[in-house]
Structure 1
Amino acid sequence: MAARTPLLCQDPPATPAITCVKKLAESPNLNSIPSNYAYYTNPTETTASDPDDPIPTVDLSLLTSDDADQKSKAIQELGRACQEWGFFMVVNHGIPEALMKAMLEAIDEFFNLPEEEKPEFQPKNVLEPIRYGTSFNTAKEKVFFWRDFLKVYVHPAFHCPDKPQSLRE
């Protein structure tokens, strides 16, 4: 019996360059994962936390509290979330729900722009104030992250893509 070559994690010969996860996910004829998106871990190494542990929540109002004990406890919880999880959910931040919704809608508009409009936001320098991409430095990395991102600096100077207009607003 002839050996079969697995499809997973091999670059298809006639696939155009995949520049973002969204494009990868929407590829109609994709029958394998491009090798630059295949990440292998040591199967004997476990990094998973208890699935019943909730994502850490940081109450931002406690970080600015006048009560020193509350503030100290909040800082410790923030430190633990960063060390043990690497991320956290923020509550009581004071950002209006309507503004958060409008921002998510504008970001969705950005990621749904035609692919030919996005390269201007993929600068060579990773320190640019506006940067769109799928990984930190695709020119040097062999494996890309399973995410697309848009980074903008808004302080001390406001930087934002000029499209879609709703994002700038």
Structure 2
Amino acid sequence: MDELIDILDADGNYTGKSIMKSEAHRKGVFHPSIHVWLYTKNGEILIQQRAINKDTHPGLWDVSVAGHIGAGEDVTESAIREVEEEIGLEITNEDLNKIGVFKYSHQHHKDLLDCEFHHTFLCELKVPLAKLEMQKSEVADLNLVSVAAFKKELESEILSKKYVPYDMDYYNTVLNAIKKRL
């Protein structure tokens, strides 16, 4: 779905201008997004398989919930909205713990250069996996994986190919932040 998003400079600062998401991707313009990593108290992480029709990383396993921040939208409100839209889970500001903002750039093909700053949150998952409702246009599947198994797969040259190729420093930052909360 195309939407109006804010333009950021190369340092992640808002420029006061907006652009359609499709144009931002075509031109490689930086823009803000959210990542919400859900984890359970017994050391599992919720991962989602991206829908096969997505134009970025179709069919790969990814962060629990990710999405673009609408133009003028509050970052935390965007995270809450995306969690409800993608997996049908209602959360509040108090459930979210921001762990940082991470610069990301990936050339998918000649007409799609994704340049984002991921506002990244952790959130404890307090309901069973079966209670979550996937937004079919965004999510093909959901799975819980232990922190240890997830890290092992990310470090495997073969198994890591099933995940969105974020920098390993990003993944380690997320995993270490989750471990501190267990």
Query: Given the two structures, how large is their TM-score scaled by the length of structure 1?
Result: 0.20
Q: TM-score, normalised by structure 2?
A: 0.19
Higher relative contact order (CA 8 A, sep 6+): 2
Larger Rg over CA atoms: 1
